[in-house]
Amino acid sequence: EVQLMESGGALVKPGRSLRLSCTGSGFTFADYAVNWFRQAPGKGLEWVGFVRNKAYGGTTVYAASVKDRFSFSRDDSKSIVYLQMNSLKTEDTAVYYCAREGLADVVFDYWGQGTLVTVSS
Amino acid sequence: DIQMTQSPSSLSASVGDRVTITCRASQNIRTYLNWYQQKPQKAPKVLMYAAASLQSGVPSRFSGSASGTNFTLTISSLQPEDFATYFCQQSYRTPFTFGPGTKVEI
- Average pLDDT of adjacent 10-residue blocks, chain A of 121 residues: 98 98 97 98 96 94 97 97 98 98 92 98 96
Res B9: pLDDT: 98
pLDDT in tens, A25-48: 999 999 999 999 999 999 999 999
State the smallest CA–CA distance between residue B78 and chain A in angstroms.
23
Report the pLDDT value the prediction gives residue B7, as an integer from 0 to 100: 98
| Separation CA B2–CA B59 (nearest Å) | 29
Residue-level pLDDT at A18: 98
Taking residue B41's Cβ as centre, other Cβ atoms within 10 Å add up to: 8
Q: What is residue A105's predicted lDDT score, i.e. its pLDDT?
A: 87
Residues on chain A bordering chain B, Cβ-to-Cβ distance under 8 angstroms:
35, 44-47, 61, 63-64, 97, 99, 102, 105-109, 111-114
pLDDT confidence tier of residue B100, bands split at 50, 70 and 90: very high
In this predicted structure, what is the pLDDT of residue A112? Answer: 98
In this predicted model, what pLDDT tens digit does every residue of B3-53 receive, in sequence order? 999 999 999 999 999 999 999 999 999 999 999 999 999 999 999 999 999
What's chain B's average pLDDT? 97
Q: Give backbone dihedrals phi and psi of A102, rounded to 5 degrees, phi first.
A: -60, 155
Mutate to test the interface with A, among B30, B36, B46 (most CBs of A within 10 A): B46
Q: Which residues of A touch B45 (CB under 8 A)?
A: 111
For residue range B68-99, what is the model confidence (pLDDT) as tens digits? 999 999 999 999 999 999 999 999 999 999 99
What's the CA gap between B52 and B72, in Å, rounded? Answer: 9
pLDDT at B106: 84
* Dihedral sign from CA coordinates of B38, B39, B43, B46: negative
